[in-house]
C-alpha cells in the first residue's frame, strides 16, 4: 500500500438504497463535508430512495467523472455492487460501514468525520484490486456477460444433486469434477465463500485467482491458485439444476453444454484506507484469531 497522496475536494456519497438507517448517516456526512469546504454530490438513487435534498444529484456513472473520490456508505455488499459499476472509471473508493467492521468498508459511522477529514486531506493508503469478468456461452449462440469483485460461483441450485463440469485453464484441460460447485475468487473474495469452502486467504493486492471446489465427490480435489492473467473455462457436462452466481448478487441458470469463461477484468478498483488500516488486524477481528475458546 501507499503512493502519492492527493487531496480531494469534490466528493460523491453513495448509500445503500434500501436502508433508511443509512439516510441519517448520509445526511450527517454530507453536511459535515459541505461545512468543511467540500463540494458534495449524491448518487441520484441514494438521494431519491433516502429522500435527501439540498445537494447536487447525478447518476452513479455520471458522478464518477464529476468527483475526485466516492464514499460508499453501507456494508461490504454495497461496496461490491458499487465497485463493479464504477470499475471502468478511474475514481478511488472509500468504504464506510453502517454496522460492524467490514473487509471492504473499514471506517465505522461513529468516527467517520474524523477519519474522512484526514483522508480527504491526503492521509491515506492506496490499494489496487482486481475484478473478474465472465461470459456464459450457450450452444445455441446465446451469450450473457457479468462482472464480479468477490467471486464467480458455479453451483447447484435447489435440487441438491451434484453437478459435473470440466475445468480448462489457458486452453489446457485440468480436470473433470463432480461436486456441489466451484468458486472462482479474486483475492478480495478469498475471505468470502471461497474461505468457507476451504480455500486459502490471498492478500488483497495479489494478482491471482483461486479455484476452490465446493464439497467435491473426491478427497483428492484441492483448491488451486493461478495467475490473474489466466483464462478459466468451465464446461457443464451434467446439471439438473445449476447456476452461475456473481458476487452472490446476480445469477444465470445453467444447462448441459454451457461454457462459463472467466478472466481478469481489464479495469481495477482503487480503494483508499486510513493510514492506520491493517489487513491483518481486520483478519484477526473478523476471524477471531488468537482468541481463547
- Kindly name the residue from 18, 59, 68, 76 that is annotated as catalytic: 76
Q: Known catalytic residue: 76?
A: yes
**DSSP sequence for the chain:** ---------EEEEEE-TT-THHHHHHHHHHHHHHHTT-EEEEEHHHHHHTT--SSEEE-HHHHTTT-SEEEEEE-HHHHHHHHHHHTTS---EEEEESSS--SS--EEGGGHHHHHHHHHTT--EEEEE--EEEEEE-TTS-EEEEEESSEEEEEE-SS---EEEEEEETTEEEEEEEESEEEEE-TGGGGTHHHHTTPPP--TT--EEEEEEES-SSTT---EEEETT--EEEEEEE-SSEEEEETTTEEEEE-TT-EEEEEE-SS-EEEEE-TT--HHHHHHHHHTTT---
Pairing of strands 224-227, 208-214: antiparallel
- Give the dihedral of Cα atoms 190, 191, 194, 200; nearest 10 deg: 60
**DSSP sequence for 108-175:** EGGGHHHHHHHHHTT--EEEEE--EEEEEE-TTS-EEEEEESSEEEEEE-SS---EEEEEEETTEEEE
Grid cell listed for 223: 483448491
| Active-site amino acid positions | 76
Amino acid at each position: 500500500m501507499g503512493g502519492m497522496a492527493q487531496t480531494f475536494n469534490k466528493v460523491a456519497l453513495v448509500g445503500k438504497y434500501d436502508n433508511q438507517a443509512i439516510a441519517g448517516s448520509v445526511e450527517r456526512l454530507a453536511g459535515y463535508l459541505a461545512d468543511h469546504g467540500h463540494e458534495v454530490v449524491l448518487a441520484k438513487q441514494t438521494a431519491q430512495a433516502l429522500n435527501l435534498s439540498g445537494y447536487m444529484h447525478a447518476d452513479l456513472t455520471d458522478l464518477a467523472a464529476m468527483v475526485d473520490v466516492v464514499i460508499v456508505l453501507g456494508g461490504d455488499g454495497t461496496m461490491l455492487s458499487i465497485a463493479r459499476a464504477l470499475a471502468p472509471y478511474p475514481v478511488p473508493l472509500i468504504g464506510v460501514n453502517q454496522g460492524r467492521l467490514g473487509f471492504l468498508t473499514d471506517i465505522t459511522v461513529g468516527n467517520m468525520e474524523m477519519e474522512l477529514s484526514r483522508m480527504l486531506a491526503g492521509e491515506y493508503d492506496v490499494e489496487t484490486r482486481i475484478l473478474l469478468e465472465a461470459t456464459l456461452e450457450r450452444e445455441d449462440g446465446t451469450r450473457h456477460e457479468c462482472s464480479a469483485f468477490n467471486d464467480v460461483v458455479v453451483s447447484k441450485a435447489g435440487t441438491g444433486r451434484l453437478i459435473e463440469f470440466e475445468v480448462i485453464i489457458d486452453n489446457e484441460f485440468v480436470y473433470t469434477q463432480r461436486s456441489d460447485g466451484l468458486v472462482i475468487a479474486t483475492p478480495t473474495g478469498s475471505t468470502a465463500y471461497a474461505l468457507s469452502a476451504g480455500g486459502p486467504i490471498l492478500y488483497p493486492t495479489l494478482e491471482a485467482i483461486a479455484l476452490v471446489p465446493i464439497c467435491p465427490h473426491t478427497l483428492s480435489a484441492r483448491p488451486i491458485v493461478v495467475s490473474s492473467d489466466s483464462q478459466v473455462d468451465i464446461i457443464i457436462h451434467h446439471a439438473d439444476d445449476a447456476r452461475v452466481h456473481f458476487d452472490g448478487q446476480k445469477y444465470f441458470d445453467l444447462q448441459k453444454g454451457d461454457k462459463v469463461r472467466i478472466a481478469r477484468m481489464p479495469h481495477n478498483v482503487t480503494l483508499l484506507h486510513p493510514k492506520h488500516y491493517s489487513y491483518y488486524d481486520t483478519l484477526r477481528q473478523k476471524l477471531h484469531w488468537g482468541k481463547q475458546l
